[in-house]
Amino acid sequence: MRELIRSLVETYGPSGAEEQIRATIRAEVESFADEVRVDPLGSLVVRKQGSGEGKRIVLAAHMDEVGVMVTYVDEKGFARFTHIGGVSPLTCIGARVAFADGRVGVVGLEEKREDTSKVPKFEQLYIDVGATGRDDCPVHVGDAAVFVRPFVAQGTRLIAKAMDDRIGCAVLIETLRRLERTPHDVYFVFSVQEETTLSGARTSTYSIEPDLAIAVDVTGTGDTPECHPMAVELGKGPAVKVQDRGMIAHPSVRDLLVQRAKEAGIPYQLEVLERGTTDAAAMQLVRAGVPSGCLSIPCRYIHSPSEMVDEGDVENSVRLLLEVLRAA
């Protein structure tokens, strides 16, 4: 899966501009699917037809990533910007960002600040694309950019920008590839705009009207120095969500994931995420309500240019989803 992951994480695709990553994913899934379509908001919906003896199931992973957007270009050609999704100024300083056309800029910090001991604000940062003035600046208001970082594998640790949630997309693609037969009609949804509004998963799920839905996304960990306590670690298996800031996982979905993990001897963890949420929060509110849950991949340094996951957790996520889908 490493080359698949590399391809996904190194492809441009901030919230609201997912065309490039959607094309990359579509090329990976078309030969394994019974139906492929793009819905009105831009989410990619891939159907694997079952034998008709099971349920209609949605598996959702968002293909968008966090980024930045130009808000103003000054007379010297430096671009001011805001954030797309949950980006911290601390992870921006000195970073490189790439725009849709591949042009790269460097994030700089104003040198004259009243209190240099405080965390800088976004209005104190700028993007330098090498322009000499506003007239020759190649970027404009509304242009979006993402962090630039290569994919790196060190032992079982995989490091890249956009693991959130391209690693979930990789899990869905690999699950589709290995899924030879299933009683269920399975809809693999690669959603747009999760980092900003959760709107992609909400609208896709509305059109599908599933019996249950499972988001596949990353979650934080409690295994780094002096971190906020959390009962999730890298390498201990995928995490079955119990609750996060936006939703309480439906007991039937949570118990299904736990039961299948136990039956197959797949390591798993239970997750309570105090900050953040996933597409599952939107999917559960569609129509009269959809029993929804989330399979979470432990990830360090979320929303930074260097997110880290464990390869074993990724593989076990695929195994667990296959166990869920192979039986009614």
DSSP-derived secondary structure letter, 202: H
Q: Which of 175, 179, 147, 177 lies closest to 163, judged by CA?
A: 147
Q: Which two tokens stand for residue 158?
A: 């995989």
**Exposed e or buried b per residue across 23-40, where buried means at least 16 C-beta atoms within 10 angstroms of its C-beta:** ebbeebbeebbeebeebe
Which residues lie across from 297 on neighbouring strands?
218
DSSP-derived secondary structure letter, 65: B
Length of the chain: 328
49 vs 220: CA distance, rounded Å: 34
Instruction: List the catalytic residues.
Output: 194
185 vs 188: CA distance, rounded Å: 10
* Cα-based distances in Å from 51 to 74, 177, 212: 60, 17, 17
Instruction: Please give the helix or strand (H or E) that residue 19 lies within, else none.
Output: helix 19-29
* Cα-based distances in Å from 62 to 14, 156, 198, 271, 311: 11, 24, 9, 19, 19
11 vs 23: CA distance, rounded Å: 10
Q: Which of 80, 73, 82 lies closest to 15, judged by CA?
A: 82
Q: Which of 48, 17, 13, 18 lies closest to 30, judged by CA?
A: 48
* Cα-based distances in Å from 169 to 88, 138, 215, 217, 288: 24, 32, 10, 9, 27
